[in-house]
Amino acid sequence: MAESGDRPSYSCGNCRNPLAFHSDLLSKAFKAKSGQAYMFSHVMNVVLGQKEDRQLITGKYTIAGIFCSNCRQELGWKYVRAFDPAQRYKEGNFIVEKLKLAKEY
Ligand SMILES: [Zn+2]
């Protein structure tokens, strides 16, 4: 497979700091303020912001903002906890706004 190499597929659109592998991508069907967003099971080179409870379209969550560890651009958020049991599969996953990402190949 062409995409099974060790190089990360996604990076920060601002500074090209590597953020995630293609295999970490779970879904492209998410929405954020800026439009389309991707859900990843794991991201690297990010720093977490303060946890906060937020009401989103699909329910209430505890989330933490995620920021590029290099340029500090806000990238999206991590689902820390879902109040609705039906949304628990999102816990521990990361949402990154497509607008903030660069695709490496
Ligand atoms: Zn960056």
DSSP states along 24-59: GEEEEEEEETTEEEEEES---SEEEEEEEEEEETTE
Query: Is 13 a member of any domain?
Result: no
DSSP, collapsed to helix, strand or coil, labels residue 7 as coil
- What pLDDT does 33 receive? 81
CA 75 to chain centre: 7
Total domain count for the chain?
1
Residue linked to tokens 């820390």: 80
71 alpha carbon to ligand 1 midpoint, in Å?
4
30 alpha carbon to ligand 1 midpoint, in Å?
21
The CA distances from residue 34 to 6, 24, 40, in Å, are 30, 22, 17
Residues with CB under 5 Å of ion ligand 1 are 12, 14-15, 17, 68, 70-71, 73
Query: Is 84 a member of any domain?
Result: yes
State both tokens at 22. 């293609």
Task: Give the confidence band of 4 by pLDDT, cuts at 50, 70, 90.
Answer: low
Average pLDDT score, the chain: 93
Residue 49 has pLDDT above 50, yes or no: yes
Q: Which CATH number belongs to the domain containing residue 99 in this structure? A: 2.170.150.20
83 alpha carbon to ligand 1 midpoint, in Å?
31
- Domain that includes residue 87, residue range: 25-103
The CA distances from residue 72 to 36, 56, 65, 100, in Å, are 21, 24, 11, 12
Task: Give the confidence band of 6 by pLDDT, cuts at 50, 70, 90.
Answer: confident
92 alpha carbon to ligand 1 midpoint, in Å?
22
